[in-house]
Structure 1
Amino acid sequence: MSIVKSENDEFFSSLPIVQPVGHTSQNVFGFDMGIDSNGKVWIIEANLRPDITLFLKLKDKGMYLTIVSYR
């Protein structure tokens, strides 16, 4: 497992589960992230309506299909 995946898993599992006001049925969130020169992962922004079409470019469509199933 990569360090980035490990840190992401640890970070996201530590987040409280909250529903944004006015979006009670929201199930999919997008996070734009960056990695600094020390390997620290930073969240740049969060999106309530992320563009998931980039996942269609992956050879394995499993991640795309998983995201679509949550919508």
Structure 2
Amino acid sequence: RQALIDTLNSKGPALLDVVVNRNELVTPPKLTWKELTGFGLYLIKAVLNGQGNEVIDLAKSNLFDTKF
């Protein structure tokens, strides 16, 4: 936390290295049907293309309170 404060208070360009969850979904305040159907289509295509593990990782990261 202190590194973030120091970086934001610096007078010039700064680089902050952080660890993030690559599967974290960004959810807008309001979802449209187009967005929901697009995401559903992505999930179906991922499973059909043999990427079911990615769908499971996505669900674990966003539906359950687990640490990565």
Normalised TM-score (structure 2): 0.26
Higher relative contact order (CA 8 A, sep 6+): 2
Comparing both structures, which one devotes a greater share of its residues to helix?
2
Which protein shows a greater Rg?
2
Normalised TM-score (structure 1): 0.25
